[in-house]
Amino acid sequence: MDHALTRLQAGLVESMAVKQAMLDDRPLLQTLLQLADRIVRSLREGGRVLWAGNGGSAADAQHLAAEFVSRFAFDRPGLPALSLATDTSMLTAIGNDYGYEQLFRRQLQAQARPGDVFVGITTSGRSPNVLAAFDACPALGVHAVALCGLGGELEGRVQTLLRVPSRHTARIQEAHITLGHLLCAEVELRMFPEQAAAAAERH
């Protein structure tokens, strides 16, 4: 039991260390704030946020899209967002007809409009289908955002790069949700300052 408890504590220490590193990473936080501004500009111009990822990152894409469409910290109108990793008929059709690497690229080509924001979540920074989607963004007029860890060659491939300072998949995924929640909170606050103020008064 003592060994098991020590393992749990070590996992928590590792997770906290990654978050502490993000807390100390001013450029990362500034980039997150700039992304919030970019998303707000897109939403105000009729755009939306498109999310994608594989495995746990697919779940994160679905989770964060839901925070935009439903709500995050307070009641307000829904914000347009969509996960490209949830429709099983779409995923299996594209995978079967065009190959798994085209999974998100094909959907972006069909769904995205100029001015939209695409957030590709890849813990390794090397997911072929996410990279293919990034490569499609310039021709579509879509702002490409990578949410990743320390791996992969993404510099110059996307317009916004949010790197979690870790190479451990679980720690990166935990940090992705933290960054995603911070982003949701910032966008929500900028889009609906009056509702945010009213919610703060009630608490």
129 is annotated as contributing to ligand binding:
no
Q: What is the CA radius of gyration of the chain?
A: 17
107 is annotated as contributing to ligand binding:
no
CA distances from 43 to 20, 36, 37 (A): 31, 11, 10
86 is annotated as contributing to ligand binding:
no
Contacts of 52 (CB under 8 A, 6+ apart): 58, 61, 83, 84, 85, 103, 104, 107, 118, 119, 120, 121, 129, 130, 133
56 is annotated as contributing to ligand binding:
yes
102 is annotated as contributing to ligand binding:
no
Cβ proximity of 117 and 64 under 8 Å: no
- Count of C-beta atoms within a 10 Å radius of residue 71: 17
159 is annotated as contributing to ligand binding:
no
123 is annotated as contributing to ligand binding:
yes
42 is annotated as contributing to ligand binding:
no
122 is annotated as contributing to ligand binding:
yes
181 is annotated as contributing to ligand binding:
yes
124 is annotated as contributing to ligand binding:
yes
Q: Which residues are annotated as a binding site?
A: 54-56, 63, 67, 96-97, 122-124, 127, 173, 181
Q: Which residues are annotated as a binding site for substrate?
A: 54-56, 67, 96-97, 122-124, 127, 173
Q: Which residues are annotated as a binding site for Zn(2+)?
A: 63, 67, 173, 181
